[in-house]
Amino acid sequence: MTTLQTTTPLRLHHLHLCSSAPDALAAFYQELFELQPVSAPERLIALAGGERAVVIHQGESGGLAMAAYAARSPEELAQLRDRLAELVCDSGPEGEIFFAPGAFTVTDPQGRRLLFGVPRSGRQPDRLAARLQHTVFQTTELKTVVDFYVERIGFTISDEVVADEGTVATCFLRSDDEHHSLAFFQGSRNVWDHHCYETSCWNDIRDWGDRFARVRRGIFFGPGRHGPGNNLFFMVTDPDGNRVELSAELERVAADQAPGVWPHEEYTLNSWGRGWIRT
């Protein structure tokens, strides 16, 4: 089976957020994530740092307009584009803020948009490490969505969380050798759940916690360790209520490793203590 991991690996590169107060949201990411404004089409705010970037659109707060994944080379992007040919749409000017010409989008069965491209420039280490690494959604049609991303796009299932009756509750998907760059859980709505930044070590988690504490933005979940991915983490919220995760020690997975299966319980979500089980 053709997978992204073995043929055209992808990493989450940046996100396009919707906000009813884009200037305030931009100020949060500029101040706390040390992002700087970059040139963007009219009515868009684009911010970038070393290994993290965001585009902010005027719109209803709490939405993710697009998740952008970076290919390693123009040749690999062209290979992916050929394989997804009937799904491909032109990215337009917003797709070329951070990506070179040739970027394209695809839309999943529930309307989520993914942008694929090759970065215009290489990335440099940030002063305080936190690389944009994964994003997660709630979906009312988990099997349909996962089948699309696995069978059509080429993501690979790393772990599944299974409820007592045997139904899959959460699915973690990888696009390279990191445990997941995308995940979905079965829920009552189709909404964006959170996005995550991968740090380099436990001490970084401490430093980010102190950084948020200084502006009185407290942790609402964690610190702890997830079962799937085995990563250390905590979560805060931005001014729009978007959930932001800081992580360390995310597991790496071999291309031929079989998916893991976890019970749907608090220990799976946080082996150190209380879990946050969505409904």
13-40 tens-digit pLDDT: 999 999 999 999 999 999 999 999 999 9
Contact (CB, 8 A) for 259 and 174: no
Q: Is residue 104 in a domain?
A: yes
| Strands of the 243-248 sheet, one edge to the other | 221-225, 232-237, 243-248, 191-198, 131-139, 182-186, 168-174, 156-162, 260-263
Is the model's pLDDT at 209 over the cut of 80?
A: yes
Q: Is residue 276 in a domain?
A: no
Confidence of residue 278 (pLDDT cuts 50, 70, 90): low
Same domain, 85 and 150: no
Same domain, 177 and 252: yes
Q: What is the pLDDT of residue 206?
A: 97
Is the model's pLDDT at 279 over the cut of 70?
A: no
Domain range for 178 is: 131-269
Rounded to an integer, the average pLDDT of 133-154 is 98
Question: Amino acid identity of 257?
Answer: Q
Same domain, 188 and 86: no
Task: Select from 79, 78, 77, 58 the least CA-distant residue to 68.
Answer: 77
| Higher local confidence (pLDDT), 76 or 275 | 76
Q: What is the pLDDT of residue 210?
A: 97
Is the model's pLDDT at 83 over the cut of 80?
A: yes
Rounded to an integer, the average pLDDT of 64-79 is 98
State whether residue 266 is helix, strand or coil: helix
Is the model's pLDDT at 276 over the cut of 80?
A: no
Same domain, 109 and 137: no
Q: Which of 117, 142, 177 is the last residue of a domain?
A: 117
Confidence of residue 173 (pLDDT cuts 50, 70, 90): very high
Same domain, 247 and 137: yes
Domains: count for the chain = 2
Q: Is residue 275 in a domain?
A: no
Task: Select from 191, 182, 197, 164 the least CA-distant residue to 263.
Answer: 164
Same domain, 77 and 161: no
Q: What is the pLDDT of residue 275?
A: 74
Mean pLDDT of the chain: 96
CA geometry: angle at 101 spanning 96 and 103, to 5°? 70
Q: Is residue 204 in a domain?
A: yes
Question: Amino acid identity of 124?
Answer: Q
CATH classification at residue 34: 3.10.180.10
Residues in contact with 75: Cβ distance below 8 Å, sequence separation at least 6, in sequence order:
none
Same domain, 138 and 250: yes
Same domain, 261 and 142: yes
Q: What is the pLDDT of residue 30?
A: 98
The DSSP annotation for 71-107 comes to ESSHHHHHHHHHHTGGG-EE--GGGGSSB-TT-EEEE
